[in-house]
Chain A
Amino acid sequence: MTRHTRILMSCIYWAFALYLLLPLALMMLMGFKDARFIGFPITSWTLDWYIGVFADRQVMFTFGYSTLIAILSTAIALVVGTWIAVTLTGRAFFGRAVILGLTLLPAVIPGVISAIAFRIYARVLGIEPGMWAIIWSHAVHNVPFVVLVVMARLSTLPRSQAEAARDLGADPLVVFFRITMPYLTPAMIGAGVFCMLLSFDDFVRSYFLGGYDPTLPVLIFAKLRSGMSPEVNAISTVVLVLTAVLGIWAERSMRRIKKQANR
């Protein structure tokens, strides 16, 4: 690579980074504006909007509600997804490709369509709109991501690991819990955090399947309809910071565990 291309490449990179980060920076900045409306110029600054976020009981309740939905739907997706991944990675059997295809389908169906389908299905099954309906739809949507991540990890597990355990007297169940599961831990942490973020972020499914209590994205949407105020910016910034911290923590701990387990 010549010097010119290198400079050009780094310019393009920084331009792209700026393009991505500028709106986020603006959003954070507006949360400090001491006025009811968003926009420049900012004549005076305040922390009131941020303090308001933590003082607002509805926002705090909704935050907890969304977190609970994220945790429960992720737990279900992890169990089901790992189960499917392990089944599909074992011996070849008839219909394996079909099962894999069906498993991955929820990831590619447009959100609105799957949300409507869930709504209809929930009515047929008699599931009330509300927390469990949302958890159910999030879990189904997240299973494909768990399957993909866990299968990728599983494909790097040497066959001799399970064989050595069998050789030393373990039956298949013991092999799974004492050898396979520990090996999959980093993949499951990664997939889990990703699922939690997907669930926390989801608007369409939560909107269509929600009951009286809104999830955080639905609440923000409702607030936006009554006009853009710096309050929304403050809420969004808090969410952004928390999710970024969670994401970075997951990435780091995944790398640490993998390093241990890879030799």
Chain B
Amino acid sequence: MTQRTDPVARIEGVTKSFGKTIALHQMNLQIASGEFVTFLGPSGCGKSTTLRILGGFETPDTGRIILNGQDVTALPPNRRKVNMVFQDYALFPHMTTRRNIAFGLELKGLSRRAIDARIDELAAFLQLADYLDRRPDQLSGGQRQRVALARALAPDPEMLLLDEPLGALDAKLRTQVQIELKNIQRRTNKAFFFVTHDQEEALTMSDRIVVMNQGRIEQDGTPEELYFRPASRFVAEFIGETNLLEATFRGIEGDAAVIDWLGNPLRCNPAGQGFAPGAAVTASVRPERIAVSADRPATENAVEARIVTSIFKGSRYLLELAVNGTRVSAYADSPVAADQGASVWLGWSRSSISLIGD
């Protein structure tokens, strides 16, 4: 991924605790301008705290927040050039869409004419022109979400903070809004700092995902990196579905690392971290990367398995299989060998395996 310009935001050694609970441990992070960064993690992992510290709603115990080269750690929210889209949108109920969007512009001291021009521009951009004179209670969930976005974008912030803004939308609308939001981000070319616990949402929209767990960063990378090369068991399990194979490291043979899983030798790409022969390792293999066939496949890794169940999922079949009594899931395009108890072969390439140390 290309680093476009200087970072728009830097989090330097930030620690924050609430009473005895430590929400953030020594966090360091940079956000480049024009970047869509998602903070992903279970509730209580510290992702919202990070967002609130960036917005100025919480003061870190230690560390600094730098926005565009300026230390803003001590500045209140109204003096930071970042804006936030709240989880409940926090639209002002007694104001129309127009007044809501105008709020930040009026406080910037813009002229009436400049404010109207900016509102019209945003209304056209976010398809809100027909709803400018309605109050929030007369808008649908998706419309409210766009008003919240328009209001936050209006003062032209250096960075936009979004706190799970899609949580209140129904599933169908959500997918649509995800794509819309990504497009809006590309067109405004602003840094978006998005917080969610939904891994699918994170994968769909982000340039970069920061996975958090218990106040620490587990992994920081592109969606592809996180999905195919998870750095930890936590990341592998949190993002997508995966098979975690408990194996033993055997050694390097030629250009491949070989592990032993239930008596089957599996060849993988040598991982950066060196394992000692005999060490316990976990291998993550995504179900969709496993090919199921009746005969022994030509792939590097092939294992014999028995079909336990086959579930029709519409576009494909989800197979639950057993390899020497250990459960593995895989997908099949057609019900080739969907008979229960039938013996099949599973095959996958070495690049489909990622090794995780425990």
Contact = CB atoms under 8 A, between A and B. Distances in A.
B84 interface: yes
Contact of A170 (B57, B78, B90, B91): B78
A170 B82 CA distance: 13
B137 interface: yes
Contacts of A41: none
Residue among B77, B108, B137, B151 facing the most chain A CB atoms (10 A cut-off): B77
Interface string B105-145: 00110000000000000000000000000011100000000
B108 A169 contact: yes
A164 B137 contact: no
Contact of B107 (A164, A170, A182): A170
A169 B105 CA distance: 9
B90 A164 contact: yes
Nearest to B57: A163
A189 to B, nearest CB: 14
B243 to A, nearest CB: 41
Contacts of B107: 168-170, 174
Residue among B56, B83, B86 facing the most chain A CB atoms (10 A cut-off): B86
A262 interface: yes
Nearest to A257: B94
Contacts of B57: 163, 166
Contact of B84 (A167, A170, A262): A167
A171 interface: yes
Given A160-B87, A260-B135, A263-B136, A167 B94 contact: no
Nearest to B138: A263
Contacts of A182: 92, 94
Contact of B155 (A163, A168, A178, A263): A168
B55 interface: yes
A120 B288 CA distance: 88
Given A168-B83, A170-B78, A170-B107, A163 B94 contact: no
B90 A183 contact: no
Residue among A161, A167, A262 facing the most chain B CB atoms (10 A cut-off): A167
Contacts of A161: 90, 92
A118 B284 CA distance: 80
A171 B78 contact: yes
A163 B151 contact: no
Interface string B86-104: 1110111110000000011
Interface in A145-172: 158, 160-161, 163-171
Contacts of B55: 163, 167
A75 interface: no
B76 interface: yes
B48 to A, nearest CB: 12
Contact of A167 (B78, B93, B135, B136): B78
Nearest to B137: A263
A187 to B, nearest CB: 14
Contacts of B135: 260, 263
Contacts of B82: 167
Contacts of B90: 158, 160-161, 163-164
A160 B103 CA distance: 15
Interface residues of B, number: 27
Contacts of A165: 92, 103
B150 to A, nearest CB: 12
A166 B93 contact: no
Interface string B2-13: 000000000000
Interface in B180-236: none
A261 interface: yes
A163 B86 contact: yes
Interface in A238-263: 260-263
B77 A261 contact: no
Given A160-B86, A260-B137, A166 B78 contact: yes
Interface string A163-205: 1111111110010001100110000000000000000000000
A169 B87 contact: no
B137 A166 contact: no
B86 A168 contact: no
Interface in B63-92: 76-78, 82-84, 86-88, 90-92
Given A163-B57, A169-B107, A179 B92 contact: yes
Contacts of A260: 93-94, 135, 137
Contact of B88 (A158, A168, A178, A179): A158
A96 B92 CA distance: 29
A160 B88 contact: yes
Contacts of B108: 169
A261 B76 contact: no
Residue among B55, B87, B92, B137 facing the most chain A CB atoms (10 A cut-off): B92
B257 to A, nearest CB: 50
B74 to A, nearest CB: 15
A261 B78 contact: no
Contacts of B94: 182-183, 260-261
A39 B354 CA distance: 99
B171 to A, nearest CB: 23
A178 B95 CA distance: 10
Interface of B: 55-57, 76-78, 82-84, 86-88, 90-94, 103-104, 107-108, 135-137, 151-152, 155
The 10 A-B pairs with the shortest beta carbon distances in the complex, nearest first, are A263-B137, A168-B104, A169-B107, A164-B90, A160-B90, A166-B77, A182-B94, A160-B86, A261-B93, A169-B78
Given A163-B77, A168-B103, A178-B103, 12 more contacts: A163-B55, A164-B90, A164-B92, A166-B56, A166-B77, A167-B56, A170-B107, A174-B107, A183-B93, A260-B94, A260-B137, A263-B135
